[in-house]
Amino acid sequence: MTLRPAISFAKFAAPKKGVAVVLAAEGDGLSDAAKACDPAGILPRAFEVSEFKAKFAGAVDLIAPEGSPLDRIVAVGVGKASALGEACWWRLGGSIAAQIKKGKDVSIVAELPGVTVGPAEVASIAGGILLRNYSFDTYKTKKEDANGAAPDKPARITILCANPSAAKKAFAETQGTVDGVILARDLVNEPANILGPVEFAAKASELKELGVSVEVLTEKEMRKLGMGALLGVAQGSVRPPRLVVMQWNGGKPKDKPVAFIGKGVVFDTGGISIKQAAGMEDMKGDMGGAAAVTGLMHVLAARKAKANVVGIIGCVENMPDGNAQRPGDIVTSMSGQTIEVINTDAEGRLVLADALWYCNDRFQPKFMIDLATLTGAIMVALGNAYAGLFSNNDELSERLTAAGQVTQERLWRMPMGAEYDKMIDTKNADMKNTGGRHGGSISAAQFLQRFVKETPWAHLDIAGTAISSPATEINQSWASGFGVRLLDRLVRDHYED
């Protein structure tokens, strides 16, 4: 939604106007190109005076001296240059974006002494700038800032680097990643009066433009399939549910697909087991899993991933109503298994039960990964630095965890087992939808596992990481877009021809 800065790439030539951003490495200082932006040599003294040690994301921001064609010279620290991993370049881009402020013409000198800043690194810096720059301001009719100043025009940014044409090419792919993350953030930030199940399905349908095939199942079709668990949640809302099936077939025709399934509760009041008022507005983000799956499909299609991928999202609204389901109701899921609904606020697992079963049944995927803002309990366990990972498969878990380390969307594996599974047994039906307060995230995962048979499966509980997590170098928004880069990385590293 935010206006985005225009980013271009060029060979190094000392910038002649605006803001020059240079990189400083801990110990090694500035590159020759950086020094060329500062012929008067004001940076070394500024570093000394401000005790700037070039720690990662630290910065010195100077007004250019008399006689310089520049407005400002900004040095941004990278820490020890040799220790910069992939995630660091994105974060560095975010730190640079934070320093640009009102700069209109910005030149970034992507050079470091003793370290090659290659095209991939340059593209990541650019990606970090764009993600940092995102803000959800669709509904702000007055755009001036707190001081009454006119809105920042998106900056014109030129990244000065060794191989501009290679950087431009790498950035084309990064741009697709950024668009997917921003799509996910926009969907999550959008209020529920605007984004209901039907509207969500329409947004997902726009992926057709990128060559994704999209089917939207209506209530009637879901009833025919026997999706009593999902439909039980939806029945309290005047807005009908939708199940969206997205397919990107970039792999070999006979190759089994990999599958991603998202919880898309556009608003979760709790239903008849209604939530308290304080903080309930956050439940507009209870579709963070579905948003991540949609964003991921965008990324994969934009870069024409050589993989067959299915994305399925269950879009419903959980409302209290004369027709809402009650605690004690027993519903029959598509699998045939019956569920006693003890608490109508444990609705996400009911939606996913049918979405997972449908996915497995129709596609026999290589694996299924579901993403859901499923439980408050995961925040009690892990806070918001890690998402919970639950799985029946060690290899898939290890690959996911490793991908999360690279993209800094970190996962922590949680235990599962028979002790937890029996918590959802009930005398009235095959299972109940809550297992009590203790280990609440785990019994929720056990519930899901009853709908995946032997298929390798992982469940990511992103309640603590998709919404309302602390601001980072690359995200200042309430919605983080958690999961999009993580799963793109997983597919890229292990599941492409």
What's the CA gap between 375 and 360, in Å, rounded?
A: 24
The residue at minimum Cβ distance from ligand BES is 376
Interactions with ligand BES, residue window 298-327 (CB under 6 A): none
The residue range among 24-32, 375-383, 391-399, 478-486 that interacts with ligand BES, by the rule CB under 6 A, is 375-383
Per-residue mark of binding to ligand BES, 413-452 (x: CB under 6 A): ---------------------x-----x------------
- Give the nearer residue to ligand BES in terms of CB position, either 18 or 481: 481
Contact positions vs Zn ion (CB under 5 A): 265, 268, 286, 348
Does residue 317 interact with Mn ion by CB under 5 A? no
**Minimum CB distance to Zn ion smaller for 5 or for 285:** 285
CA gap 76, 78 in Å, rounded? 7
The nearer residue to ligand BES, 133 or 235, going by C-beta atoms, is: 235
Query: How many residues of this chain bind Mn ion (CB under 5 A)?
Result: 3
Span from 43-51, 289-297, 340-348, 469-477 in contact with ligand BES (CB under 6 A): 340-348
Choice from 345, 354, 421, 473 touching ligand BES (CB under 6 A): 345
* Backbone φ and ψ of 368, nearest 5°: -125, 135
Q: Does 375 bind ligand BES (CB under 6 A)?
A: yes
CB of 345 to Mn ion, least distance (A): 4
* 347 in contact with ligand BES (CB under 6 A): yes
* Binding positions for Mn ion, 329-388, rule CB under 5 A: 345, 347
Helices 440-449 and 348-363: angle between axes, nearest 10 degrees: 30
CB closer to Mn ion out of 80 and 275: 275
Q: Does 463 participate in binding ligand BES (rule CB under 6 A)? A: yes
- Position 370 contacts ligand BES (CB under 6 A): no
- Name residues contacting ligand BES, limited to 209-268 (CB under 6 A): 268
Q: Which stretch binds Mn ion (CB under 5 A): 67-75, 244-252, 265-273, 412-420?
A: 265-273
Q: Which does 175 bind (CB under 5 to 8 A by kind): Mn ion, ligand BES, Zn ion, none?
A: none
Question: Catalytic residues, which ones?
Answer: 275, 349
Q: Which is nearer to Mn ion, 286 or 473 (CB)?
A: 286
Closer residue to Mn ion in complex, CB, 177/375: 375
- Segment contacting ligand BES by CB under 6 A, of 251-259, 308-316, 339-347, 351-359: 339-347
Beta carbon of residue 203, minimum distance to Mn ion (angstroms, whole number)? 22
Residue showing the smallest CB distance to Mn ion in the complex = 345
Cβ proximity to Mn ion: between 345 and 488 the closer is 345
**Smallest distance from the beta carbon of 389 to ligand BES, in angstroms?**
17
Closest distance of CB 440 from ligand BES, Å: 6
3-state SS track over the chain: CCCCCEEEEECCCCCCCCEEEEEEECCCEECHHHHHCCCCCCHHHHHHHCCCCCCCCCEEEEECCCCCCCCEEEEEECCCHHHCCHHHHHHHHHHHHHHHCCCCEEEEECCECCECCCHHHHHHHHHHHHHHHCCCCCCCCCCCCCCCCCCCCCCEEEEECCCHHHHHHHHHHHHHHHHHHHHHHHHHHCCCCCCCHHHHHHHHHHHHHHCCEEEEECHHHHHHHCCHHHHHHHCCCCCCCEEEEEEEECCCCCCCCEEEEEEEEEEECCCCCCCCCCCHHHHHHCCHHHHHHHHHHHHHHHCCCCCEEEEEEEEEEECCCCCCCCCCCEEECCCCCEEECCCCCCCHHHHHHHHHHHHHHHHCCCCEEEEECCCCHHHHHHCCCCEEEEECCHHHHHHHHHHHHHHCCCEEECCCCHHHHHHHCCCCCCEECCCCCCCHHHHHHHHHHCCCCCCCEEEEECCCCCECCCCECCECCCECCCCHHHHHHHHHHHCCC
- Residue 409 near residue 465 (C-beta atoms within 8 A): yes
| Interacting residue with Mn ion among 268, 370, 421, 461 (CB under 5 A) | 268
**Total of residues contacting ligand BES (CB under 6 A):** 15
Binding residues (CB under 6 A) for ligand BES: these are 268, 282, 286, 343, 345-348, 373, 375-377, 434, 440, 463
